[in-house]
Amino acid sequence: LKEENALLRSKINKLQILSETQADKMRKLEKKLQENKIKEEKEAQDLEAMVQHVEQNLQLMTKRAAKAENSAAKLRQENAQLQAELKNSRLEMEALRAGQAGLAAAKQNAEVALQHLLQVTTSSRASIRQLLSGAESLQLIADLLKSIDRISEV
């Protein structure tokens, strides 16, 4: 009976040691779980901050694109007006060539109008290129936001 008692005490001691070991492991795992939760929360906050930053950039790019579109529309309108002026200048020049006085003045006016038209055309092209560049940037940001949404869903 003493031997059996000693054997049972030995088993109880071993089980207590095993229980304490498992309790330590459980505490460590709980601590690690808590650390992972904190890490995930921080990552989620960082991701949210990045999304907000991208959204702000997208809004700014949208505003810039709208301004560029308005500018391009104004330049197109000015270009049309200048083309009409150029046409009128050419008609004047032709009339002056037909016999009216002041051929040199009309020719100079036509040259000035032509130079102005060429400058506006060049400027319009640059603005249109800028508008296209802005549109490409907006597309890139939209694709980035889609990717972020996919990441956040995962």
In which residue ranges of the chain is pLDDT below 70? 99-106, 154
pLDDT attached to residue 8: 93
pLDDT attached to residue 5: 93
pTM attached to this predicted model: 0.41
pLDDT attached to residue 154: 63
Contact between 35 and 129 (Cβ < 8 Å)? no
Question: Where do the structural domains in the chain lie, given as residue ranges?
Answer: 1-109
pLDDT attached to residue 117: 81
> CA 121 to CA 13: how far, in whole Å?
94
